[in-house]
Amino acid sequence: MALDEIRKTKIEKVNKLRKAGIDPYPSNSERTHSVGEVLTNFDELSVSGAGVVLAGRIMAKREHGGSVFFDVNDGSAGSPQASSKIQVLAKEDAVGKEEFGKFKEFIDIGDFVEVKGTLFKTKAGEKTLLATGYSLLAKSLLPLPEKWHGLVDEEDRLRKRYLDLIMEPEEKNLFFKKAKFWQAIREFLLKEGGLEVDTPVLEQIPGGADAEPFKTHMNALDIDLYLRISPELYLKRLIVAGFEKIFEIGRIFRNEGMDREHLQDYMQMEMYWAYYDYKKLMQLLERLIKHAVKETLGSLKHEYGGREIDWGGQWKLYDYFDEFKKYTGLDLNESDEKELKNYAKEEGIDTSLHVGKGRLIDVIFKKKVRPEFWEPGFLVLPPADIEPLAKRWPENTNKVERFQIVAGGTELGKGFSELNDPLDQRQRFEEQSELREKGDKEAQRMDEDFVEALEYGMPPTAGFGMSERFFAFIMDKPVREVVFFPLMKPRV
In this prediction, residue 148 carries a pLDDT of: 46
Q: How many domains does the chain have?
A: 2
**Residue 54, in any domain of the structure:** yes
Instruction: Clarify whether residues 34 and 104 are in a common domain.
Output: yes
Instruction: Clarify whether residues 210 and 292 are in a common domain.
Output: yes
Instruction: Clarify whether residues 227 and 108 are in a common domain.
Output: no
Supply the mean pLDDT for the chain: 92
Q: Name the least confident of 30-44, 203-217, 315-329.
A: 203-217
Other Cβ atoms within 10 Å of 378 Cβ, number: 23
Confidence of residue 438 (pLDDT cuts 50, 70, 90): confident
Model pTM above 0.95: no
In this prediction, residue 73 carries a pLDDT of: 95
In this prediction, residue 159 carries a pLDDT of: 87
Other Cβ atoms within 10 Å of 287 Cβ, number: 11
Instruction: Clarify whether residues 390 and 291 are in a common domain.
Output: yes
**Residue 338, in any domain of the structure:** no
Instruction: Clarify whether residues 298 and 418 are in a common domain.
Output: yes
The yes-or-no verdict on residue 260 having pLDDT over 90 is: no
**Residue 347, in any domain of the structure:** no
Q: Name the residue among 153, 158, 162 with its Cα closest to residue 110.
A: 162
**Residue 429, in any domain of the structure:** yes
Instruction: Clarify whether residues 7 and 138 are in a common domain.
Output: yes
**Residue 207, in any domain of the structure:** yes
Separation in Å, CA 187 to CA 195, 295, 317, 486: 11, 11, 27, 27
Instruction: Clarify whether residues 100 and 178 are in a common domain.
Output: no
Would you call 347 helix, strand, or coil by DSSP?
coil
Where a domain ends, among 144, 160, 194?
144
Domain span at 42? 3-144
Separation between Cα atoms, residue 107 and residue 243, nearest integer Å: 58
The yes-or-no verdict on residue 196 having pLDDT over 60 is: yes
Q: What is the CATH number for 84?
A: 2.40.50.140
Q: Name the residue among 114, 121, 131, 132 with its Cα closest to residue 46.
A: 121
Instruction: Clarify whether residues 122 and 222 are in a common domain.
Output: no
The yes-or-no verdict on residue 149 having pLDDT over 60 is: no
φ, ψ of residue 402 in degrees (nearest 5) = -120, 150
Per-residue pLDDT, averaged over 148-156, amounts to 67
**Residue 365, in any domain of the structure:** no
Confidence of residue 152 (pLDDT cuts 50, 70, 90): low
Instruction: Clarify whether residues 193 and 98 are in a common domain.
Output: no
Instruction: Clarify whether residues 104 and 190 are in a common domain.
Output: no
Instruction: Clarify whether residues 128 and 214 are in a common domain.
Output: no
Confidence of residue 150 (pLDDT cuts 50, 70, 90): low
Per-residue pLDDT, averaged over 172-183, amounts to 95
Confidence of residue 129 (pLDDT cuts 50, 70, 90): very high
How much of the chain exceeds pLDDT 70, in percent?
97
In this prediction, residue 60 carries a pLDDT of: 94
Q: What is the CATH number for 272?
A: 3.30.930.10
For the stretch 76-125, pLDDT in tens is 876 655 678 999 999 999 999 999 999 999 999 999 999 999 999 999 99
Q: Name the residue among 453, 417, 465 with its Cα closest to residue 275.
A: 417
Instruction: Clarify whether residues 129 and 177 are in a common domain.
Output: no
